[in-house]
Amino acid sequence: MDGILPLWKEKGMTSHDCVFKLRKILGMKRIGHTGTLDPNVEGVLPICIGQATKVAEYITDAGKEYMASVTIGSSTETEDADGDKVLIDSSFKSISRSSIVQALQQLTGEIIQVPPMYSAVKVNGRKLYEYARKGLEVERPQRKVNIYDIELLDEQEQFEGEEITFAIRVACGKGTYIRTLAVQIGELLGYPAHMSSLVRTMSGTYTESECLTLEETREQFHKGQLDVYIRPLEDALAEFPSVEMDAGLLDKISNGQVLQRHAMLQSHDRIVFIHEGKALAVYKNHPSKTGMMKPEKMFSFHS
């Protein structure tokens, strides 16, 4: 079995838990996920099966879409609702819709984020949450992330109360922390804030409507109908231009040879070589041999 299963990860499980359970359901080991979702987050988690594990990084690097709730009035250790509260501002607040929209606009585009202490980002070979659990603060590396769009989903013109919560939709690039974004929104509005809920509604091209839960996956597998839901690994390569191979190239590319650069690599990072509709290899410019290209991924013939 080769391909991509759009899975709906339910709350209470880690991404690795999903992989572990799927290995048992499908009776195979070669399964991997495409980007960690925290246990308290539900949403789209494409699962790569068989040879499709080789394309997992392309899905991980693709854009994501989230629905999140931002709560103004308190910040937490973890920047989400699971952490202990750090700052509480219990004053009565009155925030206009236009103020929130303006803050969202300021955070659209390329922005700088500092990953939360409770995250899996590594510093000096250790994950940040390992330092955090021991009460240690370390300097965290800043990172640039891309926010393509943020939309305020609530329609009222004025938000009032000691605590204010509103919903947003975020389309973003890889490496974005939505809980950090919630804190940044609060900073622009002048209050402590945290992310109170999160759902991932899209990962790459995979959407909620296509997904199966683990239980639905088990049912379809036992019915022998899971293939209907498995997307071909070529889906994950759709952003790259593809070239149908002629007989002259087939043997060379099947053997992973370094070849003269294809014209398409002058304007693209990668190209996919296709044989009879199936991906055989992903090639990129050779890092040291000018005018040459080399394979980045190789696939054996798959059905």
Which helix or strand (DSSP H or E) is residue 47 part of?
strand 42-49
Write out the catalytic residue numbers. Answer: 38
Give which of 118, 117, 113, 105 is closest to 189, Cα–Cα: 105
CB-CB contact of 1 with 49 (8 Å): yes
What six digits make up the tokens of 14? 């880690």
What is d(CA 264, CA 242) in angstroms, rounded to the nearest whole number?
9
* DSSP symbols for 81-116: TTSPEEEE--S-EEEEHHHHHHHHHHTSEEEEE---
Q: In Å, how far from its chain's centre is CA 204?
A: 7
For the chain, how are helix, strand and coil distributed in percent, rounded to 5?
Answer: 30, 35, 35
Give which of 13, 17, 18, 9 is closest to 45, Cα–Cα: 9
As beta bridge partners, residue 32 has 48
CB-CB contact of 45 with 203 (8 Å): yes
Q: How far is CA 212 from CA 7, 102, 180, 301, in A?
A: 5, 37, 29, 27
